[in-house]
């Protein structure tokens, strides 16, 4: 018989009020995540010799597009969880943002802004990669305040207490669950450190660092999906997001290997005739013809 010795408490409400106005902590965490991403990208882009103002322009349009893409992904893949009201598809304050859709549409729009500014899209992708991972980790705390997207029941000391009304039907009798939000937060922070280390010590051909970011996140996200118990559509026994993780991990890893070690360096498409910002930080020598 397992005896629960400790656990992580959950907040009973994801709201607090300022001057009588409700503030959703889920949205506050998203705002904090966005600010952290902008700050880290601003620092990295400036060190590469780029115009810091470009980061702010990209953020304005990229964040807006990212929220639209994230909500659209959730509405498409989890249509049965959308509130049955006219405002249901837009109710981001109740959770329901798919990271895949957000990153995709946000990056597409952001790349367009960088292109119009005459800067290197590929180099900017590498500059923003650690910031995106940092934002994803911070944003997971919104799931904590909403008591959502937790894992299977557990009696471990760091089990997360979930109120009865927030438990999924098959686990109404359980009280503590794997805190997947915390797992991803820690995993993402480690990934940020790895990306910053690799980017500073090796000459990675852009957008190789962005490919590493995608591969790293997808690797961890796959195992997180094996733990989660929130409603999800399945295909061949796996959750849809687990399949998305597999596909994106394979594609990003294959791209990184091809781009860094196999492809001949004949100039990156889309950078021809455009102003490139070259790295100015310290680098580690690597074999010629390999990583540059």
CA distances from 32 to 26, 137, 142, 167 (A): 10, 11, 10, 27
Write down the pLDDT at residue 292: 37
Q: Residues 23-46: pLDDT tens digits? A: 788 889 989 999 999 999 999 999
The stretch 238-261 carries a mean pLDDT of 95
Query: What is the distance between the alpha carbons of residues 197 and 174, in angstroms, rounded to a whole number?
Result: 41
Q: Which long-range contacts (CB under 8 A, 24 or more apart) does 156-162 make?
A: 157/5, 157/6, 157/7, 158/6, 158/7, 158/8, 158/182, 159/4, 159/7, 159/8, 160/7, 160/8, 160/10, 161/7, 161/8, 161/9, 161/10, 162/10
List pLDDT tens digits, range 216-243. Answer: 999 999 999 999 998 888 889 999 889 9
Q: Does position 201 have pLDDT exceeding 70, yes or no?
A: yes
- The answer on pLDDT for 270 being more than 50 is no
Residues 77, 98: contact at Cβ < 8 Å? yes
User: What is the mean predicted confidence (pLDDT) over 9-15?
Assistant: 83
pLDDT at 280: 40
Lowest mean pLDDT among 4-8, 10-14, 257-261, 269-273: 269-273
Look at residue 290 and tell me whether its pLDDT is greater than 70.
no
Q: What is the pLDDT of residues 88-121, one digit of tens each?
A: 555 555 556 678 788 899 999 999 999 999 999 9
Alpha-carbon distance of 44 to 42, in angstroms, equals: 6
| pLDDT tens profile 126-169 | 999 999 999 999 999 999 999 999 999 999 999 999 999 999 99
User: pLDDT at position 175, please?
Assistant: 95
Q: What is the per-residue pLDDT for 70? A: 80
As to burial, measured by CB atoms within 10 angstroms (0-12 exposed, 13-18 middle, 19+ buried), residue 289 is exposed
Main-chain phi, psi angles of 157, to 5 degrees: -60, -25
Mean pLDDT value of segment 182-194:
98
**Structure tokens belonging to residue 37:** 């991403």
Among 52-61, 71-80, 82-91, 121-130, the least confident range: 82-91
CB 104 within 8 A of CB 134: no
Handedness of CA 247, 98, 188, 105 (dihedral sign): positive
pLDDT value of residue 275: 42
**What tokens appear for 247 in the block?**
């596909």
> Radius of gyration of the chain from Cα atoms?
21
Q: Give the model's pLDDT for residue 158.
A: 95
Residue 35 in tokens: 């600010």
Residue whose pair of structure tokens reads 């915390």 in the numeric block:
182
Give the model's pLDDT for residue 84.
58
């Amino acid at each position: 018989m397992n005896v629960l010795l400790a656990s992580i408490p959950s907040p009973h409400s994801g709201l607090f009020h300022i001057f009588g106005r409700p503030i959703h902590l889920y949205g506050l965490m998203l705002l904090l995540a966005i600010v952290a991403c902008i700050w880290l990208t601003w620092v990295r882009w400036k060190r590469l010799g780029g115009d810091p103002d470009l980061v702010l322009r990209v953020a304005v349009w990229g964040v807006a597009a990212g929220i639209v893409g994230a909500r659209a992904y959730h509405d498409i893949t989890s249509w049965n969880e959308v509130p049955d009201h006219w405002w249901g598809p837009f109710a981001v304050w109740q959770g329901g943002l798919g990271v895949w859709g957000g990153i995709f549409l946000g990056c597409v729009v952001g790349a367009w802004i960088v292109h119009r500014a005459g800067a290197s899209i590929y180099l900017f992708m590498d500059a923003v990669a650690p910031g995106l991972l940092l934002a994803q980790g911070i944003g997971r705390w919104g799931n904590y305040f909403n008591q959502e997207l937790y894992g299977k029941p557990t009696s471990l000391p760091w089990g997360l207490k979930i109120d009865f009304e927030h438990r999924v039907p098959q686990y109404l009798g359980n009280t503590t669950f794997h805190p997947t939000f915390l797992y991803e937060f820690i995993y993402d922070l480690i990934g940020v450190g790895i990306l910053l280390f690799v980017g500073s010590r090796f000459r990675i051909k852009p957008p190789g660092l962005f490919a590493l970011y995608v591969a790293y996140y997808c690797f961890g996200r796959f195992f997180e999906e094996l733990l989660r118990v929130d409603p999800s559509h399945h295909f061949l026994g796996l959750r849809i997001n687990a399949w998305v993780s597999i596909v994106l991990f394979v594609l990003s890893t294959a791209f990184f290997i091809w781009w860094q070690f196999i492809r001949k360096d004949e100039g990156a498409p889309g950078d021809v005739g455009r102003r490139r910002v070259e790295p100015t930080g310290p680098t580690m020598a690597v074999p010629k013809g390999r990583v540059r």
